Amino acid sequence: MTAVKVRRRDSRRRSLAREGALAMRASRFGAAPRIYAYGDDYIIMDPVLGPALESVIERGVEVGLVERALDAARALDTAWILHSELHRPWRNILFTDGAAVILDYDSAGDGCGNVVRLVSGLARRIHRLGAIVKGGEFRLMAREYYRSGCDRGAYEDIKHLVLKTLGL
């Protein structure tokens, strides 16, 4: 079974090829569903049948799912893909049986910082995270994460703080 994303005729984008290439790169790092082929008008990929982050958060915060979302954002940073929508992650992160995947790379670019953007986005609806995002400790960690080129150690510090705040 596969899923196909098709460029709409009324789309302002001329091609899905760039998005397909970025999604394929992200999939190699485990951050996106497997991409089989892409062209100007289509992307063929594994379907993602799990819930979106938005519906998961509405039922209550599940720490394991937040951890999976953080790991997917970290995978994008490792792939050096900066997703432009993770400050509003609600429909772009979907969950499969064992992982989270990130969709829609149409406005993504090169770079890192997805983890910090995701935590900031989550803080808008998860009030316990709101306090740490405004606090000095997270800001220092975020600054270090960017300064280090999104180093694994800096990621682990942020992840530990988020999970501790959520009660893990």
Residue 78 is assigned to a structural domain of this protein: yes
Let me know if residue 30 belongs to a domain: no
Among the listed residues 133, 99, 136, the one whose alpha carbon sits nearest the alpha carbon of residue 118: 133
Contact predicate 163/66, CB 8 Å: yes
pTM (two decimals): 0.93
Q: Is 4 helix (H, G, I), strand (E, B) or coil?
A: strand
pLDDT above 90: residue 86 = yes
Per the structure, the complete domain to which residue 56 belongs is given by 48-165
Q: What is the pLDDT of residues 116-130, one digit of tens each?
A: 999 999 999 998 899
Q: Is residue 140 part of a domain?
A: yes
In a domain, 110, yes or no: yes
Look at residue 42 and tell me if it is in a domain: no
**Confidence class for position 109, pLDDT limits 50, 70, 90:** very high
Q: What's the pLDDT score for residue 36?
A: 98
CB within 8 Å of 70: residues ≥ 6 apart:
115, 118, 119, 158, 159, 162
| Gap between the Cα atoms of 104 and 149, Å rounded | 23
CATH code of the domain covering residue 87: 1.10.510
Inside any domain, residue 37: no
Is residue 33 a part of any domain in this protein?
no
Domain count, the chain: 1
Confidence category of residue 15, pLDDT binned at 50, 70, 90: very high
The predicted-structure confidence for 24-79, as pLDDT tens digits, reads as follows 999 999 999 999 999 999 999 999 989 999 998 888 878 889 999 999 999 999 99
Asked if residue 17 belongs to a domain, the reply is no
Q: If you average pLDDT over every residue of the chain, what do you get?
A: 93
Q: Which residues contact 108 (CB under 8 A, 6 or more apart)?
A: 19, 22, 81, 82, 83, 84
Closest to 150 (Cα-Cα) out of 105, 96, 111: 111
Question: What are the tokens at 83?
Answer: 């997703």
